C-alpha cells in the first residue's frame, strides 16, 4: 500500500528543484502519513482509499509548484513589451531572410520556387530562434535586475502624463522607427551580412563617386536609431522632441529626393548575370521613382506630425 | 450566479484571511495535520495542498519557527509563532478587526 505513497512522493520530487527536494519531500511524507493514520482509525486503509487521498492532494506537478513555484522567464507585466520586440524583430528578420534568399537566387542556375520558399523559411526560422533566445535572455536578466520595472515606471508622475492622447509616445511607433533605421543600415552595409560572392552578383551597385550617399545615410540612420532608442525611455512628446522627429522625416525626405533627382547613383555590376541584364533592361529606372515616392511619403508624415505639434 | 464563479469568489475571499488564521492557530506548536484539523474544527476548511506550502512560506519569511521532533514513533515538523510573527499577528488582527467592523456597517446598510 505504501508503495503508492512513495510513488507519489517520487513524482513530486522529480518536479522540485534539487536543493529543496529532500526537505520538502520529508515534510510532505510526514504530513501524508498523519493523514493516513487519521483515516486508519476506522480500520486498515485500502489501496483505493489511499489513491483517493493522493488524488485529493492534486497532480504531482501542481503539488510541487505550490511548494516551489517557478519564476517565469518573462514577467507577465513585461509581456506586452516582450511581444512587441519579438514581433518587430521577426518582421525585420523576415525581410532579411527574403533578401538573403533572393541573393541566393541570383547565384542559382535556375529558379526553383519550392527551393526558394524552403530556403526562405529555414533562413527565417534559424535567425528567429536566435532572436527568441537572445530577447528572452535579455528580458529574464533585466527582469531579475528590476530594470524592466524601472523602465515601466519611468518618469512616472501625474504631472508628466500626456495632456492629450496625441502627446503619448507609442511604444510600437518607436520600435517601428528603430527597426526601420536598423533595416536601412543593413541595406547600406550588405558586405556585413551578405556573402562576398552574392555581393558581387547583386544586380546593382553604387556608381563610382557616389559612395558619399552611403556615409551620409549611415550617419542619419544611426542618429534616427539613437533618437528612437531615446524615445523608448520617454512617456510623452515634448515640443523639442516632436520638432526633432519632424526634422528626422524631412532630412530623409530631402536625401531621398536629392538621390532621385541626382540620377546616375547606381551602376551595373562587374559581373553581368542574366538577372542583372533583365533588371537593367526593365526595372532600373523604377529605383528613382521608388526613392521619390518614399520622399513624398516622408513629407506627408512630417506634415501630419507638424499638425500634431500645434496641438501639444 | 453559477456555482463555479461563486466558488472562485469564495476562494478569493478566504485566501486573504488564511495567513491570519494560520498565524493565530500557531500560538501553540502545531504540525501540518494538527494545524489543518484545528482550522477545520474552527470552520476554516482548507485543503492540504494549499496549507502545507503556505506554512512553509510563512516559516521562510521568519513568521513561524520550525523544528523536527519525534512523536508517536514518527518525525514531524512542528511550527510555532516566532517573535516577529507575533508582532505581525497583532498588527494583522487589529487590521482585521477594523476591516470587519467597517464591512459589517456596510453590509448592514444593504
Task: Write down the domain spans for chain A.
Answer: 2-67, 72-153, 161-312
Q: What distance in Å separates the CA atoms of residue A300 and residue A66, rounded to the nearest whole number? A: 56
**pLDDT value, residue B1:** 58
Mean pLDDT of A250-272: 85
* pTM for the whole structure: 0.63
Per cent of chain A over pLDDT 70 is: 93
**pLDDT value, residue A21:** 94
Task: Write down the domain spans for chain B.
Answer: 3-109
Mutate to test the interface with B, among A66, A68, A69 (most CBs of B within 10 A): A66
**pLDDT value, residue A163:** 75
A–B: how many Cβ contacts below 8 A?
A: 42
B40-95 pLDDT, tens per residue?
999 888 888 889 999 999 999 999 999 999 877 889 999 999 999 999 999 999 99
* For residue A106, pLDDT beyond 60: no
Q: Domain B3-109 is of which CATH architecture?
A: Orthogonal Bundle (1.10)
* For residue A3, pLDDT beyond 60: yes
**A63: exposed, middle or buried (Cβ count in 10 Å: 0-12, 13-18, 19+):** buried
A16-51 pLDDT, tens per residue?
999 999 999 999 999 999 999 888 888 888 889 899
**pLDDT value, residue B57:** 93
**pLDDT value, residue A14:** 95
**Nearest-neighbour CA in chain A from B37: distance (Å):** 10
Average pLDDT, chain A: 85
Per cent of chain B over pLDDT 90 is: 69
Mean pLDDT of A82-105: 80
Which segment, A178-182, A229-233, B93-97, is predicted with the most confidence on average? B93-97
* For residue A107, pLDDT beyond 60: no
A115-141 pLDDT, tens per residue?
778 888 888 898 899 999 999 999 999
Residue bearing the bigger pLDDT, A154 or A56: A56
**pLDDT value, residue B85:** 96
* For residue B97, pLDDT beyond 90: yes
CA distances from B56 to A20, A62, A81, B14 (A): 12, 16, 34, 19
**Nearest-neighbour CA in chain B from A53: distance (Å):** 10
Mutate to test the interface with B, among A2, A28, A31 (most CBs of B within 10 A): A31
Q: What distance in Å separates the CA atoms of residue A73 and residue A140, rounded to the nearest whole number? A: 5
Grid cell digits, residue B76: 514531524
B26-53 pLDDT, tens per residue?
999 999 999 999 999 998 888 888 899 9
CB-based contact A139:A82 (threshold 8 Å): yes
* For residue B4, pLDDT beyond 70: yes
Residues of B in contact with A67 (CB under 8 A): 52-53, 56
**pLDDT value, residue A71:** 83
**pLDDT value, residue A8:** 95
**pLDDT value, residue B110:** 59
Inter-chain touch B76–A62, beta carbons under 8 Å: no
* For residue A149, pLDDT beyond 90: no
**pLDDT value, residue A173:** 86
Residues of B in contact with A56 (CB under 8 A): 47-48
* For residue A110, pLDDT beyond 90: no
Amino acid at each position: 500500500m505504501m508503495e503508492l505513497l512513495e510513488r507519489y512522493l517520487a513524482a513530486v520530487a522529480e518536479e522540485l528543484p534539487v536543493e529543496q527536494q529532500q526537505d520538502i519531500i520529508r515534510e510532505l511524507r510526514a504530513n501524508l502519513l498523519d493523514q493516513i493514520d487519521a483515516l486508519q482509525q476506522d480500520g486498515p486503509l485500502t489501496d483505493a482509499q489511499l489513491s483517493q487521498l493522493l488524488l485529493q492532494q492534486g497532480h504531482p506537478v501542481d503539488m510541487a509548484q505550490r511548494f516551489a513555484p517557478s519564476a517565469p522567464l518573462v514577467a507577465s507585466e513585461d509581456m506586452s513589451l516582450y511581444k512587441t520586440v519579438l514581433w518587430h524583430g521577426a518582421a525585420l528578420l523576415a525581410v532579411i531572410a527574403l533578401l538573403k534568399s533572393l541573393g541566393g537566387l541570383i547565384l542559382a542556375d535556375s529558379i526553383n520556387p519550392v527551393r526558394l520558399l524552403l530556403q526562405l523559411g529555414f533562413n527565417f526560422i534559424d535567425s528567429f530562434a536566435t532572436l527568441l533566445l537572445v530577447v528572452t535572455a535579455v528580458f529574464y536578466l533585466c527582469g531579475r535586475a528590476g530594470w524592466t520595472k524601472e523602465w515601466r515606471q519611468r518618469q512616472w508622475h501625474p504631472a508628466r502624463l500626456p495632456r492629450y492622447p496625441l502627446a503619448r509616445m507609442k511604444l510600437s511607433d518607436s520600435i517601428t522607427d528603430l527597426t526601420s533605421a536598423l533595416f536601412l543600415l543593413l541595406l547600406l552595409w550588405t558586405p556585413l551580412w551578405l556573402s562576398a560572392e552574392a555581393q558581387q552578383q547583386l544586380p546593382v551597385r553604387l556608381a563610382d563617386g557616389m559612395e558619399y550617399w552611403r556615409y551620409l545615410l549611415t550617419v542619419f540612420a544611426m542618429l534616427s536609431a539613437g533618437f528612437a532608442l531615446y524615445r523608448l525611455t520617454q512617456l510623452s512628446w515634448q515640443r523639442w522632441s516632436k520638432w526633432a522627429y519632424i526634422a528626422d522625416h524631412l532630412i530623409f525626405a530631402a536625401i531621398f529626393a536629392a538621390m532621385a533627382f541626382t540620377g546616375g547613383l547606381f551602376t551595373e555590376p562587374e559581373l553581368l548575370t542574366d538577372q542583372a541584364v533583365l533588371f537593367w533592361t526593365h526595372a532600373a529606372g523604377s529605383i528613382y521613382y521608388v526613392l521619390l515616392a518614399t520622399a513624398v511619403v516622408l513629407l506627408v508624415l512630417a506634415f501630419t506630425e507638424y499638425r500634431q505639434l500645434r496641438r501639444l | 450566479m453559477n456555482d463555479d464563479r461563486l466558488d472562485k469568489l469564495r476562494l478569493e475571499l478566504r485566501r486573504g484571511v488564511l495567513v491570519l488564521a494560520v498565524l493565530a492557530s500557531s500560538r501553540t506548536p502545531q504540525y501540518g495535520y494538527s494545524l489543518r484539523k484545528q482550522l477545520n474544527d474552527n470552520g476554516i476548511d482548507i485543503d492540504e495542498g494549499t496549507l502545507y506550502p503556505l506554512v512553509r512560506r510563512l516559516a521562510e519569511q521568519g513568521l513561524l519557527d520550525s523544528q523536527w521532533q519525534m512523536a508517536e514513533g514518527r518525525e514531524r515538523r512542528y511550527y510555532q509563532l516566532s517573535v516577529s510573527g507575533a508582532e505581525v499577528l497583532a498588527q494583522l488582527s487589529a487590521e482585521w478587526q477594523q476591516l470587519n467592523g467597517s464591512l459589517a456597517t456596510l453590509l448592514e446598510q444593504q
